[in-house]
Amino acid sequence: MRAGQFRSYIWDPILITSQIALMQFIYYTSLGFWIAAVDLLIRYSPSLDQIFSYESLGFSSAHGRVSMMAFILNSLTCAMGLLYFIRRGKQCLDFTVTVHLFHFFGCWIYNAQLPSTITWWLLNIVCIGLMSVIGEYLCLRTELNEIPLNSAPKSNV
């Protein structure tokens, strides 16, 4: 570590891989929770299509609007995950894009084709923006906290 550097960045692929896996777990767990919660409002039974099928998202039906609301709420939950498990404002965008990139591949595999609706793309861009900006804001707030110093009087012995 250089003298003028506060923190050094050490390449730790095991840590990075475990953080990616943890953020994916948080993403899908909290998304499942939010989908189940908002589906209770309209008395709809949750399905895997709400997570991976891009055709289930849209403004034309109550079911589509509620599913989109679950994705937005999930972005807020995942921003808290960035705060507690990533803890670095500089890495929030990286982890957010990684989570959504894996989700993109999951949707691509589930549907056997690329997502083709503009609603899916816009929703994911909005979710990336919300998750990364809120996560970065929360992380930077904690990074900028004062470092407590021992203020006990010194003895001159």
What does R_g of the chain's alpha carbons equal in angstroms?
20
Q: What is the pLDDT of residue 10?
A: 76
pTM (2 decimals)? 0.83
**CA atoms in the 13 A half-sphere facing the CB of 70:** 29
Q: Is residue 156 part of a domain?
A: no
pLDDT under 50 in the chain at which residues? Answer: 1-4, 6
Q: What are the residues whose beta carbons fall under 8 Å from the beta carbon of 71, sequence distance 6 or more?
A: 31, 34, 57, 123, 124, 127
User: What residue type is 18 in one-letter code?
Assistant: S
Q: Is residue 146 part of a domain?
A: no
Report which secondary-structure segment, H or E, holds 92: helix 92-111
Q: Is residue 38 part of a domain?
A: yes
Q: Is residue 56 part of a domain?
A: yes
Q: What is the pLDDT of residue 61?
A: 86
Q: Is residue 29 part of a domain?
A: yes
Q: Is residue 6 part of a domain?
A: no
Q: Could you tell me which of 83, 85, 97 has the C-alpha nearest to residue 136? A: 83
Q: What is the pLDDT of residue 152?
A: 61
Q: Is residue 89 part of a domain?
A: yes
Q: What is the pLDDT of residue 1?
A: 44
Q: Is residue 133 part of a domain?
A: yes
CA distance 21 to 1: 29
Q: How many domains does the chain have?
A: 1
CA distance 57 to 122: 11
Do 111 and 53 contact (CB within 8 A), yes or no? yes
Do 111 and 54 contact (CB within 8 A), yes or no? yes
Residue 98: give the domain boundaries. 13-141
